[in-house]
Amino acid sequence: MRWLRDDWNIKVIRAAMAVQSDGYLKHPDREMKKVEAVIEAAIDLGIYVIVDWHAHQPEPIAAGEFFARIARKYGHHPNLIYETWNEPLREHDWSEVIKPFHLAVIPQIRREDPDNLVIAGTQSWSQDVDKAAADPLPFANVAYTLHFYAGTHRQDLRDKASAALEKGAARNGVGNKRSQWQRAQF
């Protein structure tokens, strides 16, 4: 990570928590140690770290416990960014599955860390940001994920991004206060 910071000038790194497939659900202590090693290195190096709950199926209880633990231990550092569900599947409807998941998990984070940025994954592998913007979460300092790959994605995703921006998805949400993440200086 030091080499990435110094040679590539990275400012942020992702610490992806594998959830299913022999991941956190089966081995929480083992997998937590891996993520904590990345978080601690990022803090020591003065770069941001996106802590990513990488799951194909919703697991709101486990995710809430995981993020509460992370927020309790590291939430006082401005380096931390929480991504509560990376790439929910197309079959997971925003309003019926994904939004309720975020509504269950984000308060677990906010009890421990009221300030750091939360990134909320969106439907269809985080491509339906327009659906999230049309039915937003009621929290401040939340962003919605839009994964865009320049080699394969085209105008339809740019249109979704524009629609989300027009609905105010890029604002800081409730109160539109400037976030700790935006103010952080390392």
- Global pTM value: 0.84
* Cα separation, 104 vs 101, whole angstroms: 5
pLDDT at 13 over 70: yes
Cα-based distances in Å from 26 to 15, 39, 50, 60, 79: 18, 21, 22, 16, 28
* Cα separation, 116 vs 111, whole angstroms: 12
DSSP 125-136: HHT-HHHHHHS-
Contacts of 180 (CB under 8 A, 6+ apart): 78, 115, 116, 117, 141
For the segment 57-76, what is each residue's pLDDT rounded down to a tens digit?
899 999 999 999 999 999 99
Structural tokens at position 125? 């592998």
Edge to edge, the sheet with strand 118-120 lists: 12-18, 48-54, 80-86, 118-120, 142-144
Cβ proximity of 178 and 172 under 8 Å: yes
Confidence of residue 100 (pLDDT cuts 50, 70, 90): very high
Cβ proximity of 112 and 71 under 8 Å: yes
Give the pLDDT mean for 45-63: 93
pLDDT at 180 over 60: no
Q: What is residue 25's predicted lDDT score, i.e. its pLDDT?
A: 92
Burial of residue 99 (CB within 10 Å: 0-12, 13-18, 19+) is buried
**Structural domains of the chain, with CATH:** 2-183 (3.20.20.80)
pLDDT at 160 over 80: no
